[in-house]
Structure 1
Amino acid sequence: MVSAYIRIAHKYQMDTILNQWLGYLKKHFTSRFKQWISHERMVPEGFDPIHAIGVVNLARLTGCTSILPTAIAVCTTLGEKIVTGFTRNDGIHEQLSMADLGRCFQAKGHLIQANATAIAVALEPEIVTENCSSDECSEQIRLFVENGRSIFAADYLAPEGLVPPWSNYEASLAEGYDVCCHCLEMMRDDYKNNQRVIWRRLPEITGVQVDGWNL
């Protein structure tokens, strides 16, 4: 429905309607870090992640570049579906252009590497808060990282996508390793700050130029 409204409004130069529906997409595919991390899902309600391909194409059609970095970042999580695309309700098949497909492949690797760094820095066992209420936190954090590398899937400490949730790590650290609440809060803040740095670079990572990003 969103796609249809935007395409019709663009075709017939119905600027008020066009801006209204682009505004709807901008609320989710935002240029602001704080707004992005407030979302519970990668895509708006009623969307599936595969529909991010359509969002990229709508951004290209309308020149609305501000929604491209986050939409491309979502596309990097689609696996093989990123190549096959999807069929809209009107029967039209949506696929990324070869240029945007290339941007997605490049961005995927950069985001995985950046996420791994953000997690590794937040999990530095030597850096515990002054208010730490346990003598064991540093060692327990070290064990968590060691086990994360040997027990879990390879991508556990190097996840894909944009700002992967920290909550999964925090729950494990609290319940399985008994890390104190002060150290948990410190690591949560460190991770958020590390991800904010990645966010500022997102247009560069996704190969898109956006004026006023994160302002």
Structure 2
Amino acid sequence: MDIETTAEPELTRAEGLWFEDCGLVIQAELTLFRVSRDFLAGRSPVFKDMLSLPPPKDEEMMHGCPFVRLPDSAEDITAFLKALIYYEFFEPFPAPTTITILASVLRMSHKYDVVGLRKRALMHLSSSHPTTLQGWEHGGAELLKSLDSLHSRRMYVGIIPLARQISADWILPTAFYWVCKYSDEGDIVNGDTLTPSEKTSCFVAVRRLETTHANHILRFLSSEVTGCEATDPDDCVRSRVEQRRYADEWRDYEPERPAILPLELWEASEWERLDVCASCLRTMKEEHAAAKQELWDELPSLFGLPDWTTLQKMEADAFK
């Protein structure tokens, strides 16, 4: 039974994804795609099984081609097929992409079991959500921002259900941390992307991050330091007190500014403002590094997740 496209004038052909010499027509929402049946079957076991089934006697046809309706969004299928057909549309990390394209490619490559494409997409996501403190300090934060030149607060909330959907739990600790940093209460409470327990975890974590963990991270500025080598040890004390006061001011609430959470409370450039002796500086750096590592180790448990060792194994298994 050949379907006439004129019977449904609202249907439109996807730009760049309608090939006259190909023999399979796909519909997603109100968008039509004409692609190679063999090409798609060769890359996706799911499509291979779907297309290998004996056609029913009343099989729907369009333009003389087998016709398949998919339940997925046109946006997801468009990004998925373009990533399969046009290499430059979705290049491997560190080539730039957007969270919208990445999410679509991840969902569809996971659903239709396109292993190579899924790994390519996962590398983009994993690189912006590191599982080690070293990875975080070597660009994890900036890599996430690079996914979108104009990223919105809601983008961060949406990454969590995406990770759940594709079984990429290792990105969840940093994904939750981003939500705590960039999303306001309205995004969390009124959105439908997080479960009630996940919303609760975010609120509890924010309180702990902004109080207990922030104080722990900054403790090196006020704790007692032995072995001061300054001519006048009070000079070191005064500098530390001044910088602790300055650091505390950063934590003041400003509605239009992302929260300053413990992992960003004291960064590498901040050490230049301290006027202390070499011995005090060395001790303070060691104490700060230990506190930061302790927070990182505890990050998954803040959100009710398995420890980093378990999550890192999940990540390694996903890239085998």
Which of the five TM-score ranges fits, normalised by the shorter chain? 0.7 to 0.9
Q: CA deviation at 1:46?
A: 2.7
TM-score after normalising by structure 1: 0.76
- Residue 141 of structure 1 corresponds to 240
CA distance in 1, matches of 2:251, 2:261: 15
Report matched runs for 1:92-107 at 5 Å.
Answer: 95-107=193-205
More strand by share: 2
Deviations 1:175-209 (A, max 9, x none): xxx33455344323321221101111111111112
Deviations 1:108-141 (A, max 9, x none): 1222221221212x11353155444653102332
Report matched runs for 1:159-170 at 5 Å.
Answer: 160-161=260-261, 163-167=263-267, 169-170=270-271
TM-score after normalising by structure 2: 0.53
CA distance in 2, matches of 1:137, 1:76: 34
CA distance in 2, matches of 1:214, 1:190: 26
2:208 is aligned with 1:110? yes
- Bigger Rg over Cα: 2
Distance verdict in 2 for CA 1:23–1:134, change over 3 Å:
farther
CA distance in 2, matches of 1:214, 1:181: 37
Deviations 1:134-161 (A, max 9, x none): 5310233234435666xx36549xx743
Task: Please list every run of 5 or more consecutive structure 1 residues that lacks an aligned counterpart in the other structure.
Answer: 86-93
Q: Aligned residues, how many?
A: 198
Task: Please list every run of 5 or more consecutive structure 2 residues that lacks an aligned counterpart in the other structure.
Answer: 1-100, 254-258, 314-320
Distance verdict in 2 for CA 1:130–1:18, change over 3 Å:
same
Distance verdict in 2 for CA 1:170–1:84, change over 3 Å:
farther
- Residue 156 of structure 2 corresponds to 52
% identical aligned pairs: 21
2:306 is aligned with 1:209? yes
CA contact (8 A) 1:37 1:163 kept: no
CA contact (8 A) 1:84 1:95 kept: no
- Residue 34 of structure 1 corresponds to 134
Q: Higher relative contact order at CA 8 Å, sep ≥6: structure 1 or structure 2?
A: 1
CA RMSD of the aligned region, Å? 3.0
CA contact (8 A) 1:10 1:62 kept: yes
